[in-house]
Amino acid sequence: MAHILVVDDSPTETHIISTALEKQGHRVSVAVDGKDGVEKATQTLPDLILMDVVMPELNGFQATRQLTKQTEAENIPVIMVTTKDQKTDRMWAERQGAKGYITKPFVEDELIQEVNRLLLA
């Protein structure tokens, strides 16, 4: 299956997301903030990235923008997984290069469906 990078500063959220993805047979790596996420993404080139927005060091919008501007990582799809639920947040995520958007708390099936949509695109 796919290699998916989960970028989130919450150990609880990374555990929930990782468990859901691993049940589907995916290999999961974890980054603890946006800066760590950019570094791991460019080093490992995952098939997909699940990115939180509110994180220290570098937020998810900034990290996504950095990734979409780097030649080696520009084609890795990013799904924002965040508590930010305003229309402007969704629009801003899209402008930064995100291909999907899921709000927390999420339903596991919704997460898997969005992951599959982008992996099969």
**So what's the pLDDT on residue 121?**
77
The tens-digit pLDDT sequence of the chain (121 residues) is 999 999 999 999 999 999 999 999 999 999 999 999 999 999 999 999 999 999 998 999 999 999 999 888 999 999 999 999 999 999 999 999 999 999 999 999 999 999 999 999 7
Contacts 24+ apart (CB under 8 A), 66-72: 66/38, 67/38, 67/41, 67/42, 67/97, 68/96, 68/97, 70/38, 70/42, 72/42, 72/45
The CATH superfamily label for domain 3-119 reads: Response regulator (3.40.50.2300)
CA 114, distance to chain mean position in Å, is 11
Spans of all domains in the chain: 3-119
Whole-model pTM: value is 0.96
